[in-house]
Amino acid sequence: MPTPTFRVTTPVQIGQVFADRYQVVGKLGFGATSTVWLAHDLCQDQHVALKVFIRSQALGDAVKNETSMYKRIEQHPSDHAGRNAIRTLVDSFQVSGPNGQHLVLAHPPLSDSLEVGIRRSSIKRLPPWGLRYVLKNILLALDYLHAECQIIHTDIKAVSHY
């Protein structure tokens, strides 16, 4: 019988301030490993997306791997065209919840996911020009990650690309 895994989230409230800097404005979405919140950066007077990871035995090193991936990207500044298609890391920190520490990554907020854009479209698909744009940027980003940073992206799906 498999060992059960436990997903533990930390409660987040609208108006809550993290790291004496990021005030939560609203919830943007959630996935298997995290919940993403829109927050106002009180120091820079701009918005950020805060990715608050769950605490789970099933995550293993995945959280550490994501953080180290962003650090690796930062170490490879480049004029490669794919660099501009990669989301940047603004900040990372830990927050204490009732069940322990949770990693939080702060990113510039982007737009809706590709999946949401397709769902909202009246034709329920990307027009040819939109498909060309998206595929070009995904391929440029992958080439940058592989060629410049030696990172292999293994989770390409419409729900996580924007």
Residue 16 tokens, joined: 């809550």
**CATH number where 24 lies:** 3.30.200.20
Q: What does 25-46 look like in DSSP terms, one character per residue?
A: EEEEEE-SSEEEEEEEETTTTE
Range of the domain at 89: 7-160
Sorted by sequence, the CB contacts under 8 Å of residue 68 that are 6+ apart come out as none
Query: Which position among 20, 61, 79, 155 bears the catalytic label?
Result: 155
Q: Locate tokens 């004496």: which residue? A: 20
- The answer to whether position 143 is within a domain reads yes
pLDDT at 2: 47
Q: Is 41 part of any domain?
A: yes
- What pLDDT does 3 receive? 45
Which of 21, 14, 55 shows the shortest CA–CA distance to 37?
Answer: 14
CA 145 to chain centroid, in Å, comes to 16
Number of C-beta neighbours around residue 86 at 10 A: 21
155 flagged as catalytic: yes
pTM for this entry: 0.80
d(CA 90, CA 12): 20
Is 1 contained in some domain?
A: no
pLDDT of residue 4: 42
Closest to 69 in 3D by CA, of 149, 130, 4: 149
Residue 13 within any structural domain of the chain: yes
Task: Please give the tally of structural domains in the chain.
Answer: 1
Which residues in the chain show pLDDT less than 70?
A: 1-8, 56-62, 112, 157-162
Q: Is residue 50 part of a domain?
A: yes
In a domain, 155, yes or no: yes
pLDDT at 148: 94
Task: Give a yes or no: residue 2 inside a domain.
Answer: no
Q: Which residues are annotated as a binding site for ATP?
A: 51
